């Protein structure tokens, strides 16, 4: 039995640069992992079974099942896997929980089934199942374009960057947020976004520093979906207002409803998380720090350590 981590991600910024004729949003965004994870318990088996600590996500209701079923069919894999997903990340939060679970499961299956697919091959396979999955397959902090599948490294300086994550206990559908956004901005397939959605400049800097592939400055904390999500969810609006009052470098991740605050120390992060929970503003909090790499990439495990199965 293999016990593998599926970390949360945060969007360090999120801009929309257009809408394809097929209705996919074109993004300019950046991702970093945070040290809070779902846990996947995985073992080889004659069939494919996926269970979850949340019974609503058992079997075919879980993205892990769907991506593994498709991978197994695509490469004619005879063997299966038994996977149990231990959920620690809230749903509909903008932290990529389901996508992270799927990415960890794909990386595990690639090794356990002896497929030897490259990261690029896995990304091409996985992208149709979710635009956030590629950022978890990438292995480190990244800048993303296209629909999220075109990734480049984002350098995080080695110093620790402490963060607070908070979720109000109410989620928003990603599809609903994007639909509301499109309607509010007159977005139509094949159209560029209006001028007010262009980058506004850098709002904050991380203590750890941020440096893209061309060492460009990133508009840290800018999320064009934030206003829409705040309008849709009063609980989110109250929570984020309190976070920004205490720590100006606070913003919403993805389509919400989780938010992130940058902190100068572990103690500051823990105290802020405790206040948000005690005040009834957040139903779920995490005080931690950013990760330089995906835990699975960081583990140093090679295929030989996995008991690779024959296809």
User: DSSP letter at 308?
Assistant: P
Which residues have a Cβ under 8 Å from the Cβ of 105 and sit 6 or more positions away? Answer: 40, 42, 64, 67, 68, 81, 83
| Tokens, residue 256 | 């919400």
| Tokens, residue 258 | 């989780």
Tell me which residues are annotated as active site.
9, 132
Helix axes 63-74, 119-126, angle to 10 degrees: 120
- Tokens 């840290």 correspond to 220
> How many helices, marked H, and strands, marked E, lie in the chain?
9, 12
- Tokens 């690779």 correspond to 308
Helix, strand, coil percent values for the chain (each to nearest 5):
35, 30, 40
What SS3 state is found at 40? strand
User: DSSP letter at 62?
Assistant: S
Task: With CA atoms as reference, report the closest residue to 23 among 150, 213, 141, 178.
Answer: 178
Helix (H) or strand (E) holding 15: strand 2-19
What SS3 state is found at 83? strand
């Amino acid at each position: 039995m293999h016990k593998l981590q599926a970390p949360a991600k945060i969007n360090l910024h999120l801009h929309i640069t257009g809408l394809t004729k097929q209705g996919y949003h074109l993004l300019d965004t950046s991702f970093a992992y945070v040290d809070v994870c779902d846990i996947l318990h995985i073992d080889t088996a004659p069939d494919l079974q996926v269970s979850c600590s949340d019974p609503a996500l058992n079997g075919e209701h879980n993205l892990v099942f769907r991506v593994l079923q498709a991978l197994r069919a695509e490469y004619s894999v005879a063997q299966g896997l038994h996977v149990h997903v231990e959920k620690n990340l809230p749903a509909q939060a903008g932290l990529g929980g389901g996508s992270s679970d799927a990415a960890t499961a794909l990386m595990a299956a690639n090794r356990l089934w002896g497929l030897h697919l490259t990261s690029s091959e896995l990304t091409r396979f996985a992208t149709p199942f979710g635009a956030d999955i590629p950022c978890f397959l990438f292995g480190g902090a990244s800048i993303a374009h296209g629909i999220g599948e075109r990734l480049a490294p984002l350098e995080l300086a080695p110093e620790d960057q402490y963060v607070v994550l908070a979720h109000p206990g109410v989620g928003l559908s990603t599809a609903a947020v994007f639909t509301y956004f499109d309607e509010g901005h007159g977005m139509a397939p094949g159209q560029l976004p209006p001028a007010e959605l262009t980058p506004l400049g850098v709002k904050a800097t991380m203590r750890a520093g941020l440096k893209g592939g061309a060492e460009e400055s990133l508009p840290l904390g800018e999320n064009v979906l934030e206003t829409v999500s705040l309008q849709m969810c009063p609980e989110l609006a109250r929570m984020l207002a309190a976070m920004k009052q205490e720590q100006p470098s606070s913003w919403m991740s993805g389509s919400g409803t989780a938010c992130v605050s940058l902190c100068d120390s572990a103690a500051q992060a823990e105290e802020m998380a405790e206040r948000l929970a005690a005040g009834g503003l957040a139903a779920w909090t995490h005080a931690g720090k950013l990760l330089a790499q995906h835990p699975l990439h960081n583990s140093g495990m090679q295929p030989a350590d996995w008991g690779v199965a024959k296809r």
